[in-house]
Amino acid sequence: MSSETTARISPVLSGVTLGLTGTAEITVGPEHTASFVGSGRIAVLATPVMINLIEAAALAAVEHLLPPGHQSLGIHLDVGHTAATPIGLRVVATAEVTHVEGRTVTFRVTARDEFEPIGGGTHKRVVVSVARFDERVAHKVRGEK
């Protein structure tokens, strides 16, 4: 990375480099289907479940590199779900770090079953201090701005 790019990276992301990858996988069960989660009526892998798997892959890529007291939160998804996966097939999601700026990490994400690619796109996560995040949420719970 150039020094210009490095200057825009938060110190909490110093261990996160381009090309890092993470994966997550499931075998599609009835509880993973569109008809079960309410996102459709057909018993195939639900899009929200595919998205959850993609986020899990992104977590696997970088979460272990964050300093204590920090975690990443999903802030943007731009993915397509292009092929159906029936119950019983294995699905693997992969997330690759493609850009790091400030506290934000961008991933190229893909999902595929045992036969073909089933979806993909981009995903962004921001790294936060858990203590500060919890404090902001507590203010909302108490009705404070």
In three-state form (DSSP H/G/I as H, E/B as E, the rest C), the secondary structure along 44-105 is: EECHHHHHHHHHHHHHHHHHHHCCCCEEEEEEEEEEEECCCCECCCEEEEEEEEEEEEECEE
2 pLDDT above the threshold of 60: no
Q: Is 124 helix (H, G, I), strand (E, B) or coil?
A: strand
Task: Please give the pLDDT value at position 77.
Answer: 97
**76-129: pLDDT as tens digits:** 999 999 999 999 999 999 999 999 999 999 999 999 999 999 999 999 999 999
Name the catalytic one among 32, 33, 70, 81.
Answer: 81
**Catalytic residue flag (residue 47):** yes
6 pLDDT above the threshold of 50: no
Task: Please give the pLDDT value at position 4.
Answer: 41
**31-55: pLDDT as tens digits:** 999 999 999 999 999 999 999 999 9
Query: What is the residue-averaged pLDDT of the chain?
Result: 93
Tokens of 132: 């500060």
Contacts of residue 17, defined as CB under 8 A and 6 or more positions apart, other chains included, come to 97, 100
CATH 3.40.50.620 fits 3-141, yes or no: no
**Catalytic residue flag (residue 99):** no
Residue 74 CA from chain centroid, whole number:
6
Name the catalytic one among 23, 47, 98, 122.
Answer: 47
| Alpha-carbon gap, residue 119 to 96, rounded angstroms | 14
Tokens of 143: 């009705």
Name the catalytic one among 55, 85, 104, 106.
Answer: 55
